[in-house]
Structure formats: structure tokens, C-alpha cells
Structure 1
Amino acid sequence: MAVGIWTVAEKSDYISLLSSRIYAVSAYILIVAGIIVMITGVLGCCATFKEQKGLLRMYFVLLLFIFLLEVLAGVLAYVYYQQLNAELKENLRETMVQKYQQKNEEHITKAVDKLQQEFKCCGSNSSSDWSSSAWVRSGEANGRLVPDSCCKTMTVECGKRDHPSNIYKVEGGCITKLENFILDHLKIIGAVGVGIACVQIIGMIFTCCLYRSLKAEPY
């Protein structure tokens, strides 16, 4: 649950730059599974202390449900891991040049500025991407060639000068930085999902053993 909340809360800006929702869905699945785990833990304690087969059956079903959720999160993370590069190449540049500083796209603007400052990059593939920006071409940029967030030292209208001494000129642009960042987090989500799923298997085995050891409930 902690990994899911961390992904959604701290990395939500970057999620808005992705056309697919698989990354976010994987995180939400972990959150839901975490909540159910806490509820299941309480139920498991009650079932064990009271030695009630009915509660144990419910506990087993919840463990199975958590197992399936965790496996699903791991599978989604793996699938998205395989297709992330193609998605970013196809959509990231278009998102940046068409939606940056546009009406009702404030979340995209915030995400792009954070991306360029945090990863010290400029543009999807290179700083020259910004020459096609709807914002730059409209004249609303006030003479800026790139957003101020491209600057090594960010000040108002520093983007008017796109010399390498002033802005980040990173080989591969922001697309490489963002891809590596998300891939690393997909590994974490996948590992947590599959890892906890394995723990649930052990829990289900112990539950079955305990269930068989209890006397039949009186009717």
C-alpha cells in the first residue's frame, strides 16, 4: 500500500504525461490490496483465536483475492515495461509541444516544468523540439525559445537564450530520462506485487493446514 501511495502521490505529475493508464492502475491495485491486507490480518487473528472454520474460510478467500490482485499488478507492470519505450516515442513530444502552457492543461505544464528541472533536460528528444511548440509559435512565450524550466539557473525569461551554457543540452532529451525513471519504478511495483503474492501463497497453505486441524463445527 505504501508503494502504491508513494507512486500516486509523489509521481502523479509524470503520470499525466503518459497516454496509457497502466502505470497508475498498477499503483492503485497495490493500494487496494494493501487495504484488504490490513482487514484480512484482523480477520485472520480472530479466526485463529476463536478457531472458527467459517472465519477461516473467509480469510482464505480474501488471501486468494489479494494474491490475484498482486499478481495482476505485477503482470501489468511487466506488460507496461515492454511497451513504455514505444509509447513515449509516439506521444511525449506531441504532448509537450501541443499542450504546454495551453488553456486547461495546467497539469501538463506543471509536469513538463518539473520533468525538465528535476532531470536536467530540455525537450522530448532535444531542445529543438520547442521550436514546434504551439506556445512558442503563438507569441505568448514573449520571445522565449524554450521554457524557463530548461535553464540551468532558472529565472524569469531565461528561456530567451538557448545556448548550451544556459540551458540543458542532454543527449536523448527528457524522453530517455523519463523512460529510465518509470522503468525503475515499474520494477519496484512488479517486485512488490509478485513478492507479496508469494507470501499470500504461504498464508493460504497455513490456513488450509489450520482449517484441517480444527474440529468440525457443531450444527
Structure 2
Amino acid sequence: MGCFGFLKGMMFVFNGIIFLAGAAILGVGIWVKVDSGSILSFLDKIENVPSELSQVLNVGYLLIAVGALLMVIGFLGCCGAIRESKCMLLLFFIIILLVFIAEVAGAVVILVFRPLADELFAKVGTAAVQSIRRKYGEDPDITGLWNSTMDTLKCCGFYNSSDFDDSPYYNSHNMMYPPQCCPGIEQPCNKTLADSDKRITGCFPLIKQLIDENTVVIVGVALGIAALEICAMVVSMILYCRIKS
């Protein structure tokens, strides 16, 4: 009986955390959709942006769906354990099983269609460079976005400093590059300094490098989540079988 009570308590605590996390994700998703107007206005300013990039705006719907699903899972797990409801525990098990299957299928799809993702990134890179060369230093929204990104990530351009060649900023500053492209100084610099041995890498290569360096961590987290889901299904079935009809 003590083991049964322990499992009930663990189910309640674990699913309570899931419920709160789902509520937070749901709130973020609603905020993204409410504030999507500013994102749309920014994308409209980028010429030749790949049509696939507009799908990023659907992340709000994804967050809302994930948040709602987590809240349902948390509710069923908590109430099913505390009230010893076989129906709720069975629903909890079925939903977790479906989520687990969807995650496995998603991982397979990502591996199979990885080349398409690389092609999309190439299109995004072309559009980003064109946007820099046409509007950086002239359009305050584009300029501000790139300045904030480069200041935060300590990077220069999408690929490298040459992305700024022939941009309004480049032409109006006597063929100089932004300060973010200048290692060790905080003022516009020439090509020699920007392309020196200490050159500052582009934002895309930097992000890609961070992902590659943390692949083991990402895989570990994914495996950990899968393990937790399996444990949750096992515990829910143990409680289901121990509860008297």
C-alpha cells in the first residue's frame, strides 16, 4: 500500500508540473498570435523572402496546441491518480502513447527531409543578404533588427562582413562596415580589419555551430523526455491495474 501511495503522489506532483508548464506555453502562444502584427509588418519589409518562412508565424498555433495538450495531460494525470479514476488514467496513457508515437515519427521525418531544411536555409540566407544590401542603414526597422541580433550574438551579418557590401550603410560610411564586424573596436571599420585573422563570424554560421556543438545535449534531452513518457505510461498502467473497479 505504501508503494501505491508513493506512485499516486509522484503522479500528482509530476503531472502538476506538466499542467503548469502547459499553462505557461499556452500563454506564450496566445501572446505570439496577439502580437503577430508586428512580425508580419517586419516580414513585409524583406524582399524576396521565401514563402516557407511565413509558416514561422504558425508557431503561435503550435504553442497553443502544445500548451493545451500538456494541460489536458496534466489534468488527467493528477485527477486520475488522486481520485483513482481508471477512465482518466486510461485516457492519460493513450494520450502519452500517441504523443510518443508522434515524436518518433517526427524524428524520422526530420532525418529523411534534412536536405529540404538545408535548401530552405539557403533561400533564407539569400533573402537576408539581399535585405541587408538594400536596406541596412536606410530602413530603421531592418537596421535595428540586425543591430540587436549582432549585438546579442556577437556576430556580423548573415554569413560574414561581405553581406554589407554596397548596402546604404556601406556607401554612406565611405565603404566601411558596422562596428559589430570590427574585432576589438566600437566604430565602423574597413575591409582589412573586418577580414582580419580575428574576424567576427556571421550570425548563421554561429547559430549552426552552437547547434552542432550541443547536439549531444539536444539528443540527451530528447531521450530524457522519451524516458519520462515511458515511465509515465508504466506508472499509469500500474495504478490502473491496482485500482479496484
1:7-39 alpha-carbon deviations (Å, 9 max, x no partner): x9xxxx9xx899666889789867854664455
Question: In 1, distance between residues paired with 2:230 and 2:59?
Answer: 20
> What letter is aligned with 1:117?
D
Percent of aligned pairs sharing the same letter: 24
- Superposition pairs of residues 141-152 of structure 1, within 5 angstroms: 141-143=172-174, 145-152=176-183
Match in the other structure for 2:136:
101
Q: Is residue 209 from structure 1 mapped to residue 243 from structure 2 by the alignment?
A: no
Cα distance between partner residues in 2 of 1:25 and 1:185: 26
Q: For the aligned residues, what is the CA RMSD?
A: 4.8
TM-score between the two structures when normalised by the length of structure 2: 0.55
In 2, are the aligned partners of 1:122 and 1:170 still within 8 Å (CA)?
Answer: no
The secondary structure found in structure 1 opposite 2:177 is: coil
The separation in 1 between residues aligned to 2:149 and 2:98, in whole angstroms, is 37
1:64 maps to what in 2? 97
Q: CA 1:164–1:80 in 2, change beyond 3 Å: closer, same or farther?
A: farther
CA distance 1:75–1:38, shift in 2 (3 Å): farther
Farther-moved stretch of structure 1 (80-89 vs 198-207): 80-89
Structure 1 pair 177/188, CA: closer, same or farther in 2 (3 Å)?
Answer: same
Structure 1: which 5+ runs fail to align? none
Aligned equivalent of 1:159: 188
AA of the residue aligned to 1:200 = E
Distance across 2 between alignment mates of 1:72 and 1:24: 23
Q: Secondary structure at the match of 1:58?
A: helix
Give the deviation of 1:164 after TM superposition. 0.7
Relative contact order higher in (CA < 8 Å, ≥ 6 apart):
1
TM-score between the two structures when normalised by the length of structure 1: 0.60
Q: Kindly state the Cα deviation for residue 55 of structure 1 after the two structures are TM-superposed.
A: 1.8
Within the alignment, does 1:113 sit opposite 2:142 as a pair? no
Residues 49 and 129 of structure 1: CA distance in aligned 2, closer, same or farther (over 3 Å): closer
Look up the SS of the partner of 1:145 in the other structure: coil
- Structure 2, unmatched stretches of 5+, are 1-20, 30-38
